[in-house]
Amino acid sequence: MTPTATTIKSVRTAAMDDVPGVARVLGRAFCEDPLFRWLFPEPSLRMARSVRMSALMAGFGYVPRGHTSVFEAEEAGRRVVRGAALWAPPAGDGEGLAFTLRALPHLASLVGVNRLPEVLRYFAELKASAPEEPHWYLAVLGTDPAARGAGVGSRLLREGLAQADADGVPVYLETMNPANIGYYEKYDFRVMRAINDPGLPSTYCMLRPAV
């Protein structure tokens, strides 16, 4: 796909009005990611459910309780969100108890009631893998496929890393796509743990030390 020509307007903090744009971008970015393929195995439903899942994370969690950055571009005279990064600062939690209670009925409808315990166990294992020391957590970083190759993801990532460096704390993330490991290693992340439980997506927990 040919990248859409963009004029960078800003990387800024998202507001609740941005949630539909964030959900659209992340749903498109991660529709074929191993995690979303595991969560939503039916191909004909995956895109719509990926967008809804992204809306849950952004709207119920990271926009109001964590920190979400968006890359906004001007295209044909209008401003469009082309990338988003969902962060939790050291003192925040985008997926805390309030998020879980609010999102649970929606998650059950997306993955099915029968699969819900398995999905919750997996997410609990991810949460248990996080470092105990204060850190910034990069939950999701995604670029609209129409803007890939334009430096959207790297711009969002660098701004988040700069904030972590200013705070003097490490940065933690998980990726379920082994192809992403080399990308994050360029920014000094290293795999600290791999989760390879049968029946679950292979997951690589990565940490970038404090500067």
**In degrees to the nearest 10, what's the CA dihedral of 55, 161, 152, 41?**
-40
* pLDDT for the residue 146: 87
| Residue indicated by tokens 């997996």 | 122
41 occurs within a structural domain = yes
Do 87 and 65 form a contact (C-beta atoms < 8 A)? Answer: no
SS3 144: coil
Separation CA 203–CA 180 (nearest Å): 11
* pLDDT for the residue 96: 80
* pLDDT for the residue 36: 97
> One-letter amino acid identity for 148?
R
177 occurs within a structural domain = no
66 occurs within a structural domain = yes
208 occurs within a structural domain = no
Per the structure, the complete domain to which residue 36 belongs is given by 7-170
14 occurs within a structural domain = yes
pLDDT digits (tens, 9 = 90+) for 168-179: 999 999 999 999
pLDDT digits (tens, 9 = 90+) for 24-46: 999 999 999 999 999 999 999 99
19 occurs within a structural domain = yes
Q: Residue 26 maps to which CATH number?
A: 3.40.630.30
Separation CA 167–CA 102 (nearest Å): 31
Residues of the chain with pLDDT under 70: 1-8
* pLDDT for the residue 7: 58
Does this model's pTM top 0.75? My answer is: yes
Q: Nearest Cα to 133, choosing from 189, 195, 207?
A: 207
The number of distinct structural domains making up the chain is 1
207 occurs within a structural domain = no
200 occurs within a structural domain = no
